[in-house]
Amino acid sequence: MKISEWILGCIYPARCVVCDGVIGLKSGNVCPGCVEKLSVMEGFHCGYCGKFIDREEEEYCDDCRRFCHIFDEGYGVFPYSGWVKDSMMRFKFHGRKEYGEFYGRAMAAAGEGRIRRWKPQVIIPVPMYRKKERMRGYNQADVLARNLGKHTELPVRTDLVKRVHETKPQKELTRDMRRKNLAGAFAVENHAGSYSRVLLVDDIYTTGSTADAVASGLKQKGVNSVFVMTACTGHGF
Ligand SMILES: [Zn+2]
Ligand SMILES: [Zn+2]
């Protein structure tokens, strides 16, 4: 370990992504007591959007049986509940940018088969409105995309899709309202059309409205397939 890393480790000790306890200078992002919690992450995923479903035989979640998406296929690694919810809060709002290393690595490992099948040429993080990003200090989707890119050796482009409007928080909105809320929120560069297969990266997947809005913009510029990978995803029973 370099001396500068050691000093930095003393000032900003690594924290466990699960419980936020200080890990110290040891490598890894999860403390020994929390490793067990990671082993219960297995589950069945919707074959279309990647949400967790109860039984494998169902194949698709309720959402996907009723609605079509614009993106081609999605996958989320962790269920958005329990410790993951708290961890995501800290990652997004409380400066735990370092968690991105863990989640990016988890996405690369758990999504390996899908990435091989999808064959994306580029990773694009879902952009954040510039003013919001300045206030927060970073865009968590960006951090995830860069970490995923590092492990998959795929290029990351943050210049092709921009968020041009501040949008209301999506949480309280219905599906229809979400779509309207996002209309015109993203601007896509013409150059994006030079890629035919794009992997869109975000922190959380809920209804897919954001992914659809960006996928729609990309496809209008000539992109053929848009895949979506998120650190966590809801339960779409
Ligand atoms: Zn822990
Ligand atoms: Zn689904």
Instruction: Please give the distance, rounded to the nearest whole angstrom, from the Cα atom of residue 90 to the centre of ligand 1.
Output: 14
- What angle separates helix 83-93 from helix 99-110, to the nearest 10 degrees? 130
Which ligand gives the minimal distance to the CA of 99?
1
Instruction: Please give the distance, rounded to the nearest whole angstrom, from the Cα atom of residue 210 to the centre of ligand 2.
Output: 14
| Portions of the chain given CATH number 3.40.50 | 41-233
**Whole-structure pTM value:** 0.90
CATH for the 41-233 domain, from 1.20.272, 1.20.58, 3.40.50, 3.30.70: 3.40.50
77-96 pLDDT, tens digit per residue, is 999 999 999 999 999 999 99
Largest CA-CA distance found in the chain, in angstroms, rounded:
56
Decide the pairing of beta strands 225-233 and 73-79.
Answer: parallel
Asked if residue 156 lies in contact with residue 190, where contact means CB atoms within 8 angstroms, the answer is: no
Instruction: Please give the distance, rounded to the nearest whole angstrom, from the Cα atom of residue 22 to the centre of ligand 1.
Output: 8
Taking phi over 0 as left and psi of -120 to 50 as alpha, with beta for the rest, 128 belongs to beta
101-121 pLDDT, tens digit per residue, is 999 999 999 999 999 999 999
The tens place of each residue's pLDDT in the chain, 237 residues long, gives: 566 665 655 556 688 999 999 887 656 788 888 888 876 667 899 999 999 998 877 899 999 999 899 999 999 999 999 999 999 999 999 999 999 999 999 999 999 999 999 999 999 999 999 888 888 899 999 999 999 999 999 999 999 999 998 877 777 788 788 888 887 899 999 999 999 999 999 999 998 999 999 999 999 999 999 999 999 998 865
Instruction: Please give the distance, rounded to the nearest whole angstrom, from the Cα atom of residue 23 to the centre of ligand 1.
Output: 8
Instruction: Please give the distance, rounded to the nearest whole angstrom, from the Cα atom of residue 194 to the centre of ligand 1.
Output: 43
Instruction: Please give the distance, rounded to the nearest whole angstrom, from the Cα atom of residue 18 to the centre of ligand 1.
Output: 5
Instruction: Please give the distance, rounded to the nearest whole angstrom, from the Cα atom of residue 75 to the centre of ligand 2.
Output: 9
Instruction: Please give the distance, rounded to the nearest whole angstrom, from the Cα atom of residue 114 to the centre of ligand 2.
Output: 16
Question: Measuring CA to CA, which residue among 184, 191, 186 is closest to residue 163?
Answer: 186
